[in-house]
Structure 1
């Protein structure tokens, strides 16, 4: 069942009206949360890397 371009545009407009568009406060809040989570994730992986590096240098130091 094909629709003509006018019907398609009407459907797009109708669906777009249903979208919840965030306000400025929501955008700022979620942006800050993304930066915080990215920082926490980078610190976590840095610490994991340091533990793995320490373990490997200890193993290699004992074996070598």
Structure 2
């Protein structure tokens, strides 16, 4: 692949940058809110799973301790 000279490279970069479509302010706000909502849902889910696993392990260890 041939390397373009620096002037051609800059022209190509500017041409590609002109094709970028930036999200609107509303789209940015909505997607940001959705990220926070999904992160909160994931945090609650993993908290509940952690509590369930901890409870199960506690029950298993508690059963073993009563047999001594």
TM-score range, shorter chain: over 0.9
Question: How do 1:5-20 and structure 2 match up within 5 A?
Answer: 5-20=6-21
Q: What count of residue pairs does the alignment treat as equivalent? A: 64
TM-superposed CA distance for 1:30, in Å, is: 0.6
| Cα displacement string for residues 27-49 of structure 1 (whole angstroms, at most 9, x for unaligned residues) | 11110000000000000000000
Question: How do 1:8-47 and structure 2 match up within 5 A?
Answer: 8-47=9-48
- Which 5+ residue runs of structure 1 have no aligned equivalent? none
| Cα displacement string for residues 37-62 of structure 1 (whole angstroms, at most 9, x for unaligned residues) | 00000000000000001000000000
- Which 5+ residue runs of structure 2 have no aligned equivalent? none
Normalised by the length of structure 2, the TM-score is: 0.89
Name the Cα RMSD after superposition.
0.7
Runs of 4+ in 1 over 4 A off after TM superposition: none
